[in-house]
Chain A
Amino acid sequence: MRKHSKNKKKYLSAIYILWMLVFTIIPLGLVVYFSLTTIDGKFTFENLKNIGEYTPVFLSSIKLSAISTALCLLLGYPFAYIISKVKASKQVIFMIFIMLPMWINFLLRTYAWMTLLENNGIINRLLSFIGIGPVHMINTQGAVVLGMVYNFLPYMIIPIFNVMTKIDKSYIEAAQDLGANNRRVMTRIIFPLSMPGVVSGITMVFVPAVSTFIISTMLGGGSNMMIGDLIELQFLGGSYDPNLGSALSLVLMVLILISMGIMNEFDSGEEDVLAV
C-alpha cells in the first residue's frame, strides 16, 4: 500500500510536465519551424543561407565576448583565491558585496557606465584636470567589453570561489611536505582542483555576453552590432522578419551548445559549484 502511494506521488509533476511541453519545448520547436519557412509558411533554406551575410556580426560578437570572458577570468581568479584564504566569517561579507551589484538592475548598472564614459562625462572631466583628453570612450568596442566585464565579473568569481573553499587543505600540506614551493602548489594543486569552477565561470560569463543586446546598444552605440542586436531587430526593431530572426536564434543556440560542449570536455564532472 505504501509502495502504491509512492508511485502515485510522481503524478504531482504532471502539471509542470505539461507546462514544460507548452512553454519550453513547443516554443523551441517554433523557432526551428520559423527558421525553415518563409512568411507564407513554405519550406525553405533561404533564412539559414542568408545568415552567411551576417558572419562579421557573429565573429565580432564571439571576439568581444571571448575577450570579456578572458578578462573576467584574469581579474576574478586572483580575487577568488585571495578571498578563499581569509577567515570564513569575513568571506561571507566579501561575497555579499560581490553579489550585491548583481541584484541591481542590469540596465541601471550599464547606464551608470554610460554616464561615466560620455565625452563630457566624469572620467573625461577628471582627465582634463590632469591635462589629458577628452578621450573618446563611449560607443567603442572597448566600452562594450568594459560593460561586459563589469556586469559579468561576479558570475566568474562566485563559482571559482565556491570550488576553492572546498579544496581539501591536506592536499596542499602534502604537496608542501613533499617539497613543492608556492608556485608549484599553485600550478599543480590549486589550479587543477579549481578547474570545475573555472569551467562554469567561463560558461556563465560567455553565454550572457555573446547573446547580449543591451550592453552593445547602450555602450556600443549603433555601430558595434552583436548577434543579440540583430535578433532584436528582426522581432521588435525596424526590420521585422521573424523567420530570419528565428534562424539567427537557432544558430546562436547551436553556437552556445557547441561552446558548452567544449567547456564540458575540460570539466571532470563536478556538480553544484553554483550553490552558494
Chain B
Amino acid sequence: MKKFFSKVYVAFIFLFLYAPIAVLLVFSFNNSKSRAVWHGFTLKWYGELFRDEAIINAFITTLLVATLAAIIATLLGTLAAIGFKNMRKGPRKFYMQVNNIPMLNPEIVTGVSLMLLFVYCGRVLGGMELSFTTLLLAHVTFNVPYVILNVMPKLQQMDGHLYEAALDLGCKPVQAFFKVVLHEIMPGIVSGFIMAFTLSFDDFVISYFTSGAKSQTLSIIIYAMTRKRISPKINALSSIMFITVFVLLLIVNLRQNKEKNASKSKRKGMLRS
C-alpha cells in the first residue's frame, strides 16, 4: 500500500514536470496558430524557423559567446584554482569568498551591476558600448566561479607527491605540470567547461542587461517573442532545443557511467592482484 502511494506520488511529480513540455512539443506540429486545438500535422513551423534570420543570427551569437566564454573561463578558472590552492589559508579563503559572489548574488543584481560598469566606463572612457564584447565579458565573469567549483576538488584530491615524483624523475616543472597535474585534474576541467558552456548558452537575465541591440542571444529573442504575438515557431525552437539537450545529457551520463564502471573494475583488478 505504502509502495503504491510512493509510485503514484513520483508519477505525479514527473507528470507535473513534463506535461507542459510535452504540450509544447506536440503543438509544434500543429497545423494552425492555435495552442489549444489540434488542426492536423505539419512541419511548416520548423521551415519558418529556419528561414527566420533574426533567430538564426541569435543562435550563432549564442553559440559563439557560449564557446568563447567557456574557453576563456576554463583557462582563467583553472589557473586561478591552482593559484588559490598554493596560497596560505587566509588569502585563499578570502579570494574564494569573492569568487562565490556571482553564484550567491541574484542574477538580476549581477546583470545590473555589470551594465552600470559598462555604461559608466563607456561614458568616462568613451568607446565602450553594450556589444558582443560586453556580453562576452559578462559571461566569462559568471562562468569562472563554476569552473573553479569543479576544478578545486580535483586539485585537493590529487596526491601532491605525484608532482614531486615527476620532478625527482627528471621532469621540468612545466613538463610535470602538463604530464601529471593537468592529467589528474582533467575530469574537473572538462566538467567545468561543460557547465560553463551550458550556463552561458542558457543564460537570459545577465545577457539581457549586458548585450547591446546588435548582439542578441537566443534567450533574448525568445523573450521578445513571448511579449509580442506568439508564433508556434517558438514551439518548434523549444522542441529542437529540448531534443538536443536530452541527447547531450544522455551521452554525458552514459560516458560517466562507463567511466565509473571502468574505474570500478580497475579497482577490483587491483584488489585481486
B104 within 8 A of A: yes
**Chain B 96-136, CB within 8 Å of chain A: the 1/0 string?**
00110110111111101111110110000000000000000
Query: Could you tell me the distance between the alpha carbons of A5 and B80 in the complex, rounded to whole angstroms?
Result: 16
A235's partner among B16, B83, B115 (CB-CB below 8 A) is B115
User: Are the CB atoms of A24 and B223 closer together than 8 Å?
Assistant: no
User: Are the CB atoms of A213 and B108 closer together than 8 Å?
Assistant: yes
B residues in contact with A107, CB < 8 Å? 204, 219, 222-223, 226
User: Are the CB atoms of B109 and A253 closer together than 8 Å?
Assistant: yes
**Chain B 1-39, CB within 8 Å of chain A: the 1/0 string?**
000001001100110111011011001000000011100
B238's partner among A11, A108, A124, A207 (CB-CB below 8 A) is A108
User: Are the CB atoms of B116 and A30 closer together than 8 Å?
Assistant: yes
A residues in contact with B120, CB < 8 Å? 30
B208 within 8 A of A: yes
- With A115-B35, A121-B36 as given contacts, are A31 and B99 in contact (CB-CB < 8 Å)? no
User: Are the CB atoms of A105 and B17 closer together than 8 Å?
Assistant: no
B259 within 8 A of A: no
- With A28-B101, A245-B112 as given contacts, are A100 and B86 in contact (CB-CB < 8 Å)? no
B10's partner among A83, A213, A228 (CB-CB below 8 A) is A83
B residues in contact with A275, CB < 8 Å? 153
B residues in contact with A5, CB < 8 Å? 173
B residues in contact with A103, CB < 8 Å? 198, 202, 245, 249
B residues in contact with A22, CB < 8 Å? 117
User: Are the CB atoms of A11 and B83 closer together than 8 Å?
Assistant: yes
Size band of the interface chain A makes with B: 35 or more
Query: Could you tell me the distance between the alpha carbons of A263 and B79 in the complex, rounded to whole angstroms?
Result: 33
B57 within 8 A of A: no
User: Are the CB atoms of B6 and A98 closer together than 8 Å?
Assistant: no
User: Are the CB atoms of A13 and B80 closer together than 8 Å?
Assistant: yes
User: Are the CB atoms of B24 and A108 closer together than 8 Å?
Assistant: yes
User: Are the CB atoms of A249 and B108 closer together than 8 Å?
Assistant: yes
Min Cβ gap A194→B in Å is 17
Query: Could you tell me the distance between the alpha carbons of A16 and B246 in the complex, rounded to whole angstroms?
Result: 34
B68 within 8 A of A: no
- With A13-B80, A27-B113 as given contacts, are A211 and B104 in contact (CB-CB < 8 Å)? no
Min Cβ gap B49→A in Å is 13
A residues in contact with B153, CB < 8 Å? 272, 275
**Chain B 203-215, CB within 8 Å of chain A: the 1/0 string?**
0110011000000
B41 within 8 A of A: no
A residues in contact with B109, CB < 8 Å? 31, 211, 249, 252-253
Query: Could you tell me the distance between the alpha carbons of A185 and B85 in the complex, rounded to whole angstroms?
Result: 41
User: Are the CB atoms of A111 and B234 closer together than 8 Å?
Assistant: yes
B residues in contact with A109, CB < 8 Å? 20-21
B257 within 8 A of A: yes
A120's partner among B36, B86, B204, B249 (CB-CB below 8 A) is B36
A49 within 8 A of B: no
B242 within 8 A of A: yes
Query: Could you tell me the distance between the alpha carbons of A180 and B35 in the complex, rounded to whole angstroms?
Result: 54
User: Are the CB atoms of A101 and B18 closer together than 8 Å?
Assistant: yes
Q: Which residue of B lies closest to A96 (CB)?
A: B253
Min Cβ gap A226→B in Å is 10
- With A23-B117, A256-B106 as given contacts, are A12 and B101 in contact (CB-CB < 8 Å)? no
List B residues 223-273 near A (Cβ within 8 Å): 223, 226-227, 230, 234, 237-238, 241-242, 245-246, 249, 253, 257
Enumerate 30 A-B pairs (CB-CB under 8 Å) in ascending A order. A5-B173, A12-B80, A13-B79, A13-B95, A16-B77, A16-B144, A20-B99, A23-B140, A24-B102, A26-B117, A82-B9, A83-B10, A96-B253, A98-B17, A104-B238, A105-B218, A105-B238, A109-B20, A111-B24, A111-B226, A111-B238, A115-B24, A118-B35, A118-B36, A124-B36, A125-B36, A125-B37, A217-B227, A252-B106, A275-B153
| Residues of B in contact with A (beta carbons under 8 Å apart) | 6, 9-10, 13-14, 16-18, 20-21, 23-24, 27, 35-37, 76-77, 79-87, 95, 98-99, 101-102, 104-110, 112-117, 119-120, 137-138, 140-141, 144, 153, 164, 167, 173, 198, 202, 204-205, 208-209, 218-219, 222-223, 226-227, 230, 234, 237-238, 241-242, 245-246, 249, 253, 257
